[in-house]
Amino acid sequence: MILVDSCGWLEFLTDGPLADEYALFFEDPEQIVTPTIVLYEVTKKIQREKSKDKAQAVAAQMVRTTVVDLDAQIALLAADISLQRNIPMADAIVYATAQARDCQVATSDRHFLNLPQVLFMKGQT
């Protein structure tokens, strides 16, 4: 299992510069862990920049993955991570979800740079 961060979804969906690096993670959607905050971030951005119809199509693709709700355990872990690592709330929730599900995070978001269990893609978003 792999957790693809919001930036990875957006790179892949918009054929961004790192789309090829992320593409291999999307070969089997059942192996992707998607925190609900990633579902929110990605669909919001697609709806704002493209259309509501496109955002709904993306959401349909995303819910074929293993969607993980933000529960009390993940929220408390995220709060600790945010304080210890000095990373923003959404990124802390993503990282806490990966820890709770014992998987790696695929990302190009610099907030995750040098964190354990992170596969950092070469570019930046």
pLDDT of 122: 83
DSSP character for 47? H
Q: Does 125 have pLDDT greater than 80?
A: no
Could you give the domains of the chain? 2-120 (3.40.50.1010)
Give me the percent of the chain exceeding a pLDDT of 70: 98
H or E stretch at 28: none
Q: Over the chain, what is the mean pLDDT?
A: 96
Phi-psi region of 102 (alpha: psi -120 to 50; beta: other; left: phi over 0): left
CB 34 within 8 A of CB 67: yes
pLDDT of 55: 98
pLDDT of 123: 57
Which pTM does this prediction carry?
0.95
